[in-house]
Chain A
């Protein structure tokens, strides 16, 4: 039975003090589709794709010039004993890029937070976070530092209400994903360049299957989706030649790229592409260039295994860690009936009673908890000077899951003792910083209405101060789950 508290907390990101609980919960969710803004104000104000890529493009260019200079000095002084490689400038350049990458990363996290806190379309905002985790990149791979947030802003936000196929193509051609999963340096063994290497093979050069494997296993079909190692290798061959302009330091790749192309833009290098017809999941692909892997991605997006994989993950996100099979079937068939239209899937979800069960179905992740706590206190941004570190301390650094599988959407990693203590410490600090005399009893009533338990209401009422009452509200059972 649709309920407004469930709509706000399970589907949305939690209430704000001046919100009124929606009268018609389903309508409230559906109305957000038309109002959603892919470029919300905080994201418009963050370092944009063009600026980030211009910086890294220029820095990489300078780095390559310096590398060339050192190479020539080394060639000139080739007597084996001398150690002429004066690498200090390159090391300093690397450090500068790392520093700037961290600054971009921090600014992007702050923008993501502000967008979530101020959003009036919190259901769609939640779906953006869901898909960003589905297509996870992680900055513990340094190559993605400074770009990771852009994947969400550029490739996910614009497509969150559109067709999955369009999101998939945007993600797989985004520099953050191409760099994260090593696609940028994958070389077809029989390609023009690969054939030349054939005579004097070098250890690290050759076909790289990372992106192909993760697309099949994580992004589309799912681990039991019916593909095998041959499909992975064939798909990896189809993907060869896909790379990125202006951001790479490997001379053996950059020489095939146009020096004038916009940094960070998708590149196709025919010299690296494995020629020939590819056969993947029973289909043949005879396209000659970048169109080959695009055609594979389009077919993968339409595959029934993909429908089922995505339906299972969405069902798990809204109906609990063990999602009901009937709900998965319904979402998968909605996906297939309108050709991967994600809005149709969300509509089917909203219309499903399994997503509206009375008891909370999910333990909040640290991200969800912090966002809902800040919204409850009426914050528009996090006042913290270091938001990157804050989420690390809470146990879930943003865009840093350490794995292309993203964070688990299960209680297991989050419902742990140490995490609970951290939430209490954080709640204590938040109310100290934001003590504005708000009455915690009224706030609890406004947020949870008749869903507020007697135990929580009493504990809050007996608190020694307003601040302590607010902290108790933020860590109450009602607040830890959705």
Chain B
């Protein structure tokens, strides 16, 4: 099987130098590095996002979806990017986007619930671990670098655990009036715990400012994330949930809408971060992929291999990283799904370790203790 695969590491600048990434000193000091993890809940179709238009079986296997490749944005001889991701294409052209393909977590069945559990805990199987890998990452980071925030009403599993984290989301509850807020502040003056929480809350509210009032469209969520992250006391780690990716029916229109939102969110994040984008890594990941062939309702069903993205100023980008398994039926996983050839855990461990200057094996042991992931080096600049 392996000899039939083609190893692809397309790069605008040429990928050959990656094998010689310099040895780094692993002493940790506080940095200005920032990490954003965007979870695509519902299993995003990687084949419609980073489109393998150059695969000889592409048209016959993707059938009704094949024509989507015509309008797509060319990345290299093999892959094209969904046309809604035009902003991400400019990142790619600027060497700030890396798309990984045929990626999967260790999970090999097809339940969203269990698949997201594995993606978020970093376990080898569902419910093996109780906390999220992003929370465990905090134990590896010094003081200031470990300030983490979920842009959600409740902290999602990926960031839950023993390390203290925050959360913030534009509220749909009616706003309390200014006078009440002021009086509550005074009421908490004599209570150290509530006083500290209240001050932190008012600080976040002030940062979120008008952005929060405009409610949660994707662009304002991206701008909000940027606002909460900028400056010396901004959050260093943020996680954002997106949903709507479970496209069992009428995939073309629904996916275009979701990807347009993702593109706008990340674009607004980048604009809001300004110069701090230089120190930022954005990881976009989903629990598993979708079937290669369309189903009977213009959609796709739960699959296995999918695509992931690394974006930002620290990414060694401008390339698609894939050990491409092929789309011919015999090459598919269980005759129906894109065969996973790249470990999500190895990708994440390698990228995050380099981004924060953590020794890669140590990062892998803490983030993914039971999956024997071998961190991929050279994805991100140290």
Would A472 and B183 be within 8 Å (CB), given that A88-B297, A210-B126, A404-B127 are in contact? yes
Q: In the complex, what residues of A have CB within 8 A of residue B59's CB?
A: none
Q: Which of A84, A421, A422, A477 contacts B296 (CB 8 A)?
A: A84
B21 CB within 8 Å of chain A: no
Count of chain B residues with Cβ under 8 Å from any Cβ of A?
Answer: 51
Query: Interface readout for A375-419 with B: 1 if CB under 8 Å, 0 if not?
Result: 000000000000001001101110000111100000011011110
- Rounded to whole Å, the gap between the CB of A97 and the closest CB of chain B is 15
Cα–Cα distance between A427 and B183 once the two chains are bound (Å):
13
- Rounded to whole Å, the gap between the CB of A370 and the closest CB of chain B is 12
B259 CB within 8 Å of chain A: no
Assess the B164–A214 pair: CB atoms within 8 A. no
B233 CB within 8 Å of chain A: no
Would A420 and B296 be within 8 Å (CB), given that A393-B153, A477-B191 are in contact? no
Cα–Cα distance between A415 and B183 once the two chains are bound (Å):
19
Would A421 and B174 be within 8 Å (CB), given that A87-B295, A87-B297 are in contact? no
Cα–Cα distance between A183 and B350 once the two chains are bound (Å):
37
Q: In the complex, what residues of B have CB within 8 A of residue A87's CB?
A: 249, 295-297
A141 CB within 8 Å of chain B: yes
Assess the B127–A213 pair: CB atoms within 8 A. yes
Assess the B127–A393 pair: CB atoms within 8 A. no
Cα–Cα distance between A353 and B248 once the two chains are bound (Å):
57
Would A424 and B184 be within 8 Å (CB), given that A213-B127, A393-B171, A393-B173 are in contact? yes
Size band of the A side of the interface?
35 or more
Give the nearest-CB partner of A455 in chain B: B190
Cα–Cα distance between A109 and B191 once the two chains are bound (Å):
33
**Stretch in contact with the other chain, from B12-20, B86-94, B195-203, B282-290:** B195-203
- Rounded to whole Å, the gap between the CB of A349 and the closest CB of chain B is 26
Would A418 and B169 be within 8 Å (CB), given that A85-B296, A402-B157, A455-B187 are in contact? yes
Q: In the complex, what residues of A have CB within 8 A of residue B113's CB?
A: 140-142
Q: In the complex, what residues of A have CB within 8 A of residue B3's CB?
A: none
Assess the A396–B295 pair: CB atoms within 8 A. no
Q: In the complex, what residues of A have CB within 8 A of residue B188's CB?
A: 477
Q: In the complex, what residues of B have CB within 8 A of residue A88's CB?
A: 297
Q: Which of A402, A405, A425, A463 contacts B175 (CB 8 A)?
A: A425
Q: In the complex, what residues of A have CB within 8 A of residue B295's CB?
A: 85, 87
Assess the A417–B204 pair: CB atoms within 8 A. yes
Q: In the complex, what residues of A have CB within 8 A of residue B126's CB?
A: 210
Assess the A468–B180 pair: CB atoms within 8 A. yes
Interface residues of B (CB under 8 A from A): 108-111, 113, 126-127, 130, 153-155, 157, 160, 164, 166-169, 171-177, 179-181, 183-184, 186-191, 193-194, 197-198, 200-201, 204-205, 248-249, 294-297, 334
Sample of 19 more A-B contacts, CB < 8 Å, known A417-B168, A477-B188: A84-B296, A85-B296, A87-B297, A203-B109, A204-B110, A393-B172, A397-B154, A404-B127, A405-B130, A417-B204, A418-B168, A422-B173, A425-B176, A426-B173, A429-B173, A455-B190, A471-B180, A476-B187, A477-B191
Q: List 21 A-B contacts (CB under 8 A).
A: A87-B249, A204-B110, A210-B126, A389-B172, A393-B172, A393-B173, A404-B127, A416-B166, A416-B197, A417-B200, A418-B169, A420-B194, A421-B176, A422-B171, A424-B180, A428-B174, A428-B177, A472-B183, A472-B187, A475-B184, A477-B187
